[in-house]
Structure 1
Amino acid sequence: MTPVLSPNTQAILLLTAPLIAGRGAASSDLLSPGEYKRLARHLREIQRQPADLLSPDAAEILRACQPIIDESRMQRLLGRGFLLSQVIERWQARAIWVVSRADAEYPRRLKARLREDAPAVLYGCGASGLLETGGLAVVGSRHVDDALINYTMSVGRLAARAGRTLVSGGAKGIDQAAMRGALEAGGNVCGVLADSLEKTAMNREHRNLLLEGQLALISPYDPSAGFNVGNAMRRNRLIYALADAALVVKSDVNKGGTWAGAVEQLDKLNSVTVFVRSTGELCAGLDALRKKGALPWPNPRDTDSFAEVFNVRMPAPAPSLKVGFSPLDGPSAAGATSSAAEPLDTAPASQNERESRAPVDAVFDSRSPTAVSEQHPPITPDAVAPTGEAKMLPQSETTPADVLFGAVRAAIQQLLSAPMKDAEVAAALKVSNAQAKAWLQRLVDDGRVEKLTKPARYVARSQPSLFGHESA
């Protein structure tokens, strides 16, 4: 990854990054992810890009953006150029690279799968090319017993032997065990950190892992940021987006980052197949995820059976409905199919991205008592199964309400090629206004539909970007 920041990335950092070295009054003005998303969308509409906010005619562009973000607020943020130059030197001294959605080097997987919700800026160190290799995401609770630690390490080792990248979050417990197992077996690992990237980059213990291209660490948060529960929850979607399949080893029910990330993937994003551990001690959280559509982990024992995991797909959604038919009319109403959203940016990854190397800190949370150097006896994923026949978690199907929404979703998006009121959507689908509003709100939450005001209407979000290099 090139250490030189593009003009677009510099502008985005000035607008959104705290620039920890220069904490002050301006930090309270930082644009939130939602605010920046609206600003970037507006810039595309007026055929501009973030770097133009630093150009000689910036005053005119700032006035054009006044309806979205207050002009004086933007001026204060963009005036932090000296602080930015200081913090860039600090990052470079620690081999931390920075890339924004406006750069061709930005991970295409994140841009294609998360679109406007992909982080505006990513900080990282190590072999950035690993971010495009896919692989298996392994996630789970922080507080687990030794049996699950050993089980998870064996999954990481098998991924390494199969030549698949292991993606996880670097937190103590399941995350660290999976990453440790893969690294000890000589595999490649991507760690998506929620905090302390700069501190991690300064530790010498695992520096060779990054220098040799075995490890990449990234974070959507400032390299000096400390732990924050909200940040830890939000980064989970990046773990799934970087992988080809995911395994949840342990989860609580209705609480915690593991649960929230898996549910978001199952209910909204649907970018990868989600598996849950199917042997060993039963877990209420895994059972609940099965009821939401997660699949039982097939417990592969060798590299060939492990490779088959990536050919498994989540059950296909029910067929969409033709516009003008009621979802309650029966099979004759089905027929229209949903078109897949196209990636906002398909620029090829640069050669620098493939060759980047950097020093790194401990992959693992410094609060964890477990170190990479500790030796663990070889174990297969089935070794933690209880004595006798392995206990399988019960399987459940998707709820009828989810099936119905999956069937009507494409029909609503087709209707909303032009703005419509909720009552008009209800009339076209022959359902109640309350039902139409509920479906529309789900589509708004999913990012597929935008709600307009004055008057209140809904419209399908247009997919193509005016700027191939900036997909906000």
Structure 2
Amino acid sequence: MTPVLSPNTQAILLLTAPLIAGRSTTSSDLLSPGEYKRLARHLREIQRQPADLVSPDATEILRACQPVIDESRLLKLLGRGFLLSQVIERWQARAIWVVSRADAEYPRRLKARLREDAPAVLYGCGDMALLETGGLAVVGSRHVDDALIDYTMSIGRLAARAGSTLVSGGAKGIDQAAMRGALEAGGKVCGVLADSLEKTTMNREHRNLLLEGQLVLISPYDPSAGFNVGNAMQRNKLIYALADASLVVSSDVNKGGTWAGAVEQLDKLKFVPVFVRSTGESSAGLDALRSKGALPWPNPRDADSFEEVFNVPTPSTATSSQVGLSLFDGTPAVDATAVAPDVRDTVPVSKVEEEPSVPAEVDSDTRSSALVSEDPPLAVSNAEVPAGETSEKPLPEIVPAELLFSAVRALIQQLLTTPMKDAEVAAALDVSNAQAKAWLQRLVEEGVLEKQKKPAGYIVKQKRLFE
């Protein structure tokens, strides 16, 4: 289903998108990702959202944004309504959908892992549900020999047989070989494109796969945008963020998009385990990635052994490199993976603080997770004991760690109505992978959660009859 273009998304497009069909706005006029991030924060601080910039009282709001973005520049961008209507009609005719971080339909994996660095706008074609299925990311060089193409296609076919989504970048060489192998074997594929989304979706071969729900193509860049080296580099983090594990089939050393994306994943982001090809002719690039912590690909031969690559723990970080809401920062914890509007774009902080409870009528799939357990937490009694007397029953030993875990238990139960891996839970709670894994293991031991294989992840244990 193609989501309706929300007022917030329309405003964000006017501010950040080139609207190439019109070709009347130079790239220097548009807000850069950093500028939009600052504007979104400022709007939140003044208890506004992007759609308010085109509302009847927009003049006052635009003036209030002057310290962040020049008012005349905002007015020029927001005045492109006619061009926007033209390009929307063009996208709709090609079944291209558009979502922004302010929309509930925005991929929750990107929100959870990239936070404010998730693209403000995402364009796509195909079944959006595939973006939530995880799977194996396969990346590599554009220029490789036939032997590596065949090898990569076999990886795609194995992923399809295992029922795992394949995620890649759609570029020539390794990317396309992996995707083709999976698609020919009847598997599901998510392609994260750096350019030419519109052209790619109009390809006859791709069109049938898109319509049948076997393929989804997305891009953070205008559907008509051509190739740009910087864009190709920046979109790499989206490939890793949508996956559960990754395989680098080939790479140069110290240059190229494949190298840059893998190094960023190993050194900074650490979303998923990074494997490198371990058979055939070696390369300086793969050896260098091994020295940085990449793992040798275990060369699974069947679906069961393929599933094991998703059980390798992701390297944990002491502190999250992403800025997000902490567990106990005075505001209700937000389920970063829930299909809910991004509070950075739509909900002022003060409003979150003023509304600690969630109305019963709000659907559980779209509300924020509050740190409230169905059972009240244990509390230390403050009742005074008369002088000279001692209490027969000592006060329960409630240590801060237990109070913390009581709240965490409730939050994790709300998160895991659908299977999630420990890395996803860590991203949602803004804690290290090691801490999330320890909490999850304890809940498994308590019988609250169970760890399943297909789809892989932790989920709330369902009580069976007469159990």
Partner-residue secondary structure (3-state), 1:288: helix
Amino acid at match of 1:100: S
TM superposition shift of 1:195: 0.5
Relative to structure 1, the CA distance from residue 99 to residue 315 in structure 2 (aligned partners, 3 Å threshold; closer, same or farther) is closer
Amino acid at match of 2:189: V
Relative to structure 1, the CA distance from residue 349 to residue 182 in structure 2 (aligned partners, 3 Å threshold; closer, same or farther) is farther
- 1:398-442: per-residue Cα shift (whole Å, max 9, x none)? xxxxxxxxxxxxxxxxxxxxxxxxxxxxxxxxxxxxxxxxxxxxx
**Contact in 1 for aligned 2:8/2:50 (Cα 8 Å):** yes
The residue number in structure 1 matching 2:189 is 189
Question: Aligned partners of 2:6, 2:230: CA distance in 1, in Å?
Answer: 29
Relative to structure 1, the CA distance from residue 91 to residue 318 in structure 2 (aligned partners, 3 Å threshold; closer, same or farther) is closer
**Contact in 1 for aligned 2:241/2:271 (Cα 8 Å):** yes
Question: Aligned partners of 1:164, 1:340: CA distance in 2, in Å?
Answer: 36
For 1:429-468, what aligned pairs fall within 5 Å after superposition?
A: none
The residue number in structure 2 matching 1:373 is none
Which residue among 332, 339, 349 is the counterpart of 1:348? 339
**Contact in 2 for aligned 1:113/1:343 (Cα 8 Å):** no
**Contact in 1 for aligned 2:101/2:119 (Cα 8 Å):** yes
TM superposition shift of 1:313: 1.2
Amino acid at match of 1:49: Q
Structure 1 moving runs of 4+ over 6 Å? 338-344
Amino acid at match of 1:193: L
TM-score (norm 2): 0.69
The residue number in structure 1 matching 2:144 is 144
Amino acid at match of 2:46: I
Question: Aligned partners of 2:166, 2:319: CA distance in 1, in Å?
Answer: 34
Question: Aligned partners of 1:273, 1:52: CA distance in 2, in Å?
Answer: 41
Question: Aligned partners of 2:44, 2:340: CA distance in 1, in Å?
Answer: 23
- 1:357-390: per-residue Cα shift (whole Å, max 9, x none)? xxxxxxxxxxxxxxxxxxxxxxxxxxxxxxxxxx
Question: Aligned partners of 1:19, 1:314: CA distance in 2, in Å?
Answer: 39
The residue number in structure 2 matching 1:205 is 205
Amino acid at match of 2:297: W
The residue number in structure 1 matching 2:262 is 262
**What is the CA RMSD across the aligned residues, in angstroms?**
2.3
TM superposition shift of 1:3: 4.5
Question: Aligned partners of 1:87, 1:303: CA distance in 2, in Å?
Answer: 44
Question: Aligned partners of 1:2, 1:158: CA distance in 2, in Å?
Answer: 30
The residue number in structure 2 matching 1:73 is 73
- 1:206-238: per-residue Cα shift (whole Å, max 9, x none)? 221111100000000000000111111110000
**Contact in 1 for aligned 2:122/2:218 (Cα 8 Å):** yes
Partner-residue secondary structure (3-state), 2:154: helix
**Contact in 2 for aligned 1:110/1:238 (Cα 8 Å):** yes
**Identity, % of aligned positions:** 86
Question: Aligned partners of 2:110, 2:218: CA distance in 1, in Å?
Answer: 12
Aligned residues: 335
Question: Aligned partners of 1:125, 1:44: CA distance in 2, in Å?
Answer: 30
For 1:166-245, what aligned pairs fall within 5 Å after superposition?
A: 166-245=166-245
**Contact in 1 for aligned 2:195/2:223 (Cα 8 Å):** yes
**Contact in 1 for aligned 2:127/2:213 (Cα 8 Å):** yes
TM-score (norm 1): 0.68
Amino acid at match of 1:32: S
TM superposition shift of 1:317: 5.1
TM superposition shift of 1:347: 3.6
Question: Aligned partners of 2:135, 2:273: CA distance in 1, in Å?
Answer: 12
The residue number in structure 1 matching 2:47 is 47
Amino acid at match of 2:144: V
Determine which structure has greater relative contact order: mean sequence separation of CA pairs < 8 Å that are 6+ residues apart, divided by chain length: 1
Unmatched 5+ stretches in structure 2: 321-325, 342-429, 432-467
Relative to structure 1, the CA distance from residue 163 to residue 20 in structure 2 (aligned partners, 3 Å threshold; closer, same or farther) is same
The residue number in structure 1 matching 2:307 is 307
Question: Aligned partners of 1:54, 1:226: CA distance in 2, in Å?
Answer: 30
The residue number in structure 2 matching 1:133 is 133
For 1:27-38, what aligned pairs fall within 5 Å after superposition?
A: 27-38=27-38
TM superposition shift of 1:168: 0.2
> Is 1:165 aligned to residue 165 of structure 2?
yes
- 1:235-285: per-residue Cα shift (whole Å, max 9, x none)? 000000000000000000110000000011111111111111111101111
Partner-residue secondary structure (3-state), 1:205: helix
Question: Aligned partners of 2:337, 2:315: CA distance in 1, in Å?
Answer: 27
The residue number in structure 2 matching 1:431 is none
Partner-residue secondary structure (3-state), 2:67: coil
Amino acid at match of 1:68: V
Partner-residue secondary structure (3-state), 2:21: helix
Question: Aligned partners of 1:344, 1:75: CA distance in 2, in Å?
Answer: 34
Amino acid at match of 1:273: P
- 1:174-231: per-residue Cα shift (whole Å, max 9, x none)? 0001000000000000000110111112221222111110000000000000011111
Question: Aligned partners of 2:219, 2:70: CA distance in 1, in Å?
Answer: 28
**Contact in 2 for aligned 1:17/1:30 (Cα 8 Å):** yes
